Amino acid sequence: MSVINISKDNFAGEVLRSDRPVLLDFWAPWCGPCRMVGPILDEIARERADIKVGKINVDEQPELAGQFGVMGIPAMVVVKDGTVVNQATGARPKSQILALL
């Protein structure tokens, strides 16, 4: 499966009502560490059919960033059954991202 771009318009359906855990990546195009994490998340999305990977551009979706209290990017949040179960800020290697799940 590929990475899904999440906006306030599809957030409820793709994240809150998802039948699988969702790994959200809060990012921005100008963020160097975000660009480093992007390919890792693409790889995880291709390899793991049991989870959903979504990207939220904080410049385009400031309401969602605020809702999750995102103060620094990249920020990763794991949502399961509509509830945040884990989160981390900063670029991380694939093994640490997978450990969040």
Out of 15, 24, 34, 40, the active site residue is 34
Listed in sequence order, the residues at least 6 apart from 63 whose beta carbon sits closer than 8 Å to its beta carbon are 8
75 is written with which tokens? Answer: 């920020």
| 31 is a catalytic site residue | yes
Out of 3, 4, 31, 56, the active site residue is 31
| 9 is a catalytic site residue | no
Q: Give the Cα separation of 48 and 72 in Å (integer).
A: 26
| Catalytically annotated residues | 31, 34
